[in-house]
Chain A
Amino acid sequence: GAVVSQHPSRVICKSGTSVKIECRSLDFQATTMFWYRQFPKQSLMLMATSNEGSKATYEQGVEKDKFLINHASLTLSTLTVTSAHPEDSSFYICSVRTTNQPQHFGDGTRLSIL
C-alpha cells in the first residue's frame, strides 16, 4: 500500500494565487521529508529538505519566501507556493525518508498556473 499520500494531485489556478500542497507519511513517523520539482523532460530537482519542528533547508536558488514549507508534525509537511506565476507551473513531488530505508515518493502534484 501507499506509504506517502500527496494532495491535491492537480491544481489549475490563476496567476497570483497561493497554492498549498500536502504530503502525509502514512506508515512512518517522518522527521525528514523532501520536496522536489520536475519540469517537463527534466529530472527531479530537490527544492528543500523539510525537518519536523524546525526550519526547512532550501537548496541554492530556491526562494524560501516563495516556497513556504511547514513540517508541524511527524506525518505532515506542506509546501505553499505563494503568489504563483506561470513559470512555477511544474510537477511537485514530496518524499519521505525513514531510518535506513530508501525514500518513498508521493504521487505528485501537477501545478498549472494560467
Chain B
Amino acid sequence: QKEVEQNSGPLSVPEGAIASLNCTYSDRGSQSFFWYRQYSGKSPELIMSIYSNGDKEDGRFTAQLNKASQYVSLLIRDSQPSDSATYLCAVTANTGFQKLVFGTGTRLLVSP
C-alpha cells in the first residue's frame, strides 16, 4: 500500500464547475497535510495547508481533513482553465525532520 494515494486522473471539469480532488494516507501519526499545484515542467507551489479536522477555506480553494478516515481533499470552486495542472497531496511523515511524503498527483483539466 502506498503511503499517500491519489487518483492519477485526468479529472476533467468544465470552466466554472467545482473540481474535487481526493487523497488518502496510511500513516495515522501524520500531523500536517498539504496540497501543492505543479504545472508541467515547474516545481510545486503550495496551495493549501491543513492541520486539524474539518474545512479550511482560502479564496476558491477549500481543504477538508478527516483524520479518522485518513482522508484529505481539495475543492476548487469556479474552476478556471489556468487551474489545469497536477495537484500533489503531501503528508508530513511522523518523524522529527518533518519529511514530506507525496502522492503521485492528480492531473486536472479545466476546459473553457
Contact = CB atoms under 8 A, between A and B. Distances in A.
A105 B44 contact: yes
Nearest to A94: B43
Interface string A66-109: 00000000000000000000000000010101000011111110
Interface in B20-61: 32, 34, 36, 41-46, 49
A106 B42 CA distance: 10
Interface residues of A, number: 21
Interface residues of B, number: 20
Interface stretch (B11-19, B62-70, B71-79, B97-105): B97-105
5 contacts: A6-B43, A32-B98, A44-B88, A44-B102, A110-B41
Interface of B: 32, 34, 36, 41-46, 49, 88, 97-105
